[in-house]
Structure 1
């Protein structure tokens, strides 16, 4: 908690956007204060509760992450039981240049998204950006990482997800907690997606085997993610500012006609895709960097991975 209070002080002392920092900081404090331990929740839940197994498995998931070299620390020792989303993210894009809008934050540097505790505040920011000629979108966030500054609680809604989806999210956020480069959102998110998926595959295979329904479902989700990625790459090869409306309409139609393998893929096909949402997909694109080759070169050592990224991608010793 001392580290968290120090972070809040540093952010607020910067003198910019103090109401935004204060609102988000108070929201995190409230969620931690109202969170419960897994044991507390297990004592309250009936034996037939659908997410009871997820709670029982959580310590083993975290131990697996520690074994893989992730900085678990005190993360996810408690469960956030508040029903509303963790926060709401605002993203925006320039329709003329077809590029994402960037915010500049103390400590974390440039980022193509901004989080708000309350939906109305996120919507107000989105409207302000629209008045400047940008295209903006708002969406809820299912999880976040403190980057190791304080012991974040696991959002309770994650417990109701399928096991493969749940562990992908947990490993993704723990990668952020372990490796983070300020101002490099695309690198950070791409790496977290790649390692999160790799660790999820290893976890599911270890528990159920490669022929299991769980492993097949995870494989299908990742394959559908790659299909969506290829669609986005083709879209970006042909789109232009004057034809953007028609380009996005054709993109939506192609998604609807695709033979998706997973429920996640089918859900993606019926979403309304805006320019900033499509550009954000590339921020999270695990295929945008040669992670497979880099990870093999590191022989699965997270510390070596961080050093190698600094040396080969960022040019620092």
Structure 2
């Protein structure tokens, strides 16, 4: 998926050669990104900065200011610098699941806790790690990442990988990443990503409304409608497969039904594409061989969004009150947080 988050845990190291090697690439990758970055004001003052880049940087700087002033997001120096990495993605995330389960493989780190993916600054490294997991008969997926967060431990620069997007999507990604610096539940990827997605969606709505940009808002709503339709389609297949994998069918029967489920997912997408529900933006995703790990990647970012949107509505749209409630939930043990979210879902 294009918009994603990779949590780099570069504040402390653990023992073990393999672990140290992973941390080394994370540290070196982040330092390289920092070394390539310059303050946005310097880019704007540079006569060699192209008019197109200048316009995008001015827009991003204004969106960042809006995030701090109007969305009550923290100012820890993130996105006040810019770097052109000369590549499409800054990171590649690796997701993995067992062949007949949607229980994501998790990796645990000293600062971020346990997460459902593992990020690499070099695509070759990500693919090599994914292959090592595939050799263990796991389902794997490698997805490019446009931005990452160090959770406020370091100031994260704005990247060319972000500015490739439409202006509202650039603003949304800035809001999403800064939301991670406001609320973070250690070891709960789905809560963290869903919370940040809610802040992103509400933030973009307010941002475009404040600018009176009706045309951009209409375009953003159209893209959002596609995103919601995509998520609904994928999560329906995920739910179907959860039921399948928990059934008493033999493994052989489950494999046959699994293949059928993914074939039907692709067929359903093709039908909706022909009906005009989607444009070409999801064609590449559906063109690849799909497996459980692809579904986990989508679920990580969206599964709790509807519940958290209810929570925001119950706070009458007051973001500070919403953050306070999210912080309260984030402080709970994961099992207790899940129970409270389930109760909120049942009551909506």
Relative to the length of structure 2, the TM-score reads 0.80
Which residue of structure 1 aligns with residue 139 of structure 2?
Answer: 135
Please list the CA deviations of residues 270-298 of structure 1 after superposition, one character each: whole Å capped at 9, or x if unmatched.
56543211122111116555222211333
In the alignment, which of 285, 300, 303 is matched to residue 283 of structure 1?
300
Q: Can you give the 5+ residue segments of structure 2 that lack an aligned partner in the other structure?
A: 1-8, 245-253, 338-348
Which residue of structure 2 aligns with residue 22 of structure 1?
Answer: 24
- Number of matched pairs: 308
Which residue of structure 2 aligns with residue 34 of structure 1?
Answer: 36
Is this contact kept in 2: 1:217–1:262, CA < 8 A?
no
What CA distance in whole angstroms lies between the structure 2 residues aligned with 1:278 and 1:300? 30
* 1:72 and 2:75 correspond: yes
Which residue of structure 1 aligns with residue 234 of structure 2?
Answer: 232
What CA distance in whole angstroms lies between the structure 2 residues aligned with 1:14 and 1:150? 25
Please list the CA deviations of residues 74-96 of structure 1 after superposition, one character each: whole Å capped at 9, or x if unmatched.
00111021113211111111121
Which residue of structure 2 aligns with residue 217 of structure 1?
Answer: 219
What CA distance in whole angstroms lies between the structure 2 residues aligned with 1:286 and 1:93? 17
* 1:113 and 2:117 correspond: yes
**Which structure's relative contact order is higher, taking Cα pairs within 8 Å and 6+ residues apart?**
2
Which is further off, 264-273 or 30-39? Answer: 264-273
What CA distance in whole angstroms lies between the structure 1 residues aligned with 2:112 and 2:263? 35
* 1:91 and 2:95 correspond: yes
Q: Can you give the 5+ residue segments of structure 1 that lack an aligned partner in the other structure?
A: 1-6
What CA distance in whole angstroms lies between the structure 2 residues aligned with 1:293 and 1:201? 16
Which residue of structure 2 aligns with residue 152 of structure 1?
Answer: 156
Q: Report the Cα offset of residue 156 of structure 1.
A: 1.6
- Pairing 1:146-225 to 2, within 5 Å after superposition: 146-209=150-213, 212-225=214-227
Is this contact kept in 2: 1:220–1:262, CA < 8 A?
no
The 3-state SS of whatever aligns with 2:73 is coil
The 3-state SS of whatever aligns with 2:265 is helix
Relative to the length of structure 1, the TM-score reads 0.87
Please list the CA deviations of residues 31-66 of structure 1 after superposition, one character each: whole Å capped at 9, or x if unmatched.
111212223323446686333211112222111101
Please list the CA deviations of residues 185-218 of structure 1 after superposition, one character each: whole Å capped at 9, or x if unmatched.
0000011111101101111122134xx2211111
Which residue of structure 1 aligns with residue 267 of structure 2?
Answer: 253
Please list the CA deviations of residues 289-310 of structure 1 after superposition, one character each: whole Å capped at 9, or x if unmatched.
5222211333445553343235
What CA distance in whole angstroms lies between the structure 2 residues aligned with 1:134 and 1:192? 29
Which is further off, 260-269 or 37-46? Answer: 260-269
Which is further off, 186-195 or 12-21? Answer: 12-21
* 1:56 and 2:63 correspond: no
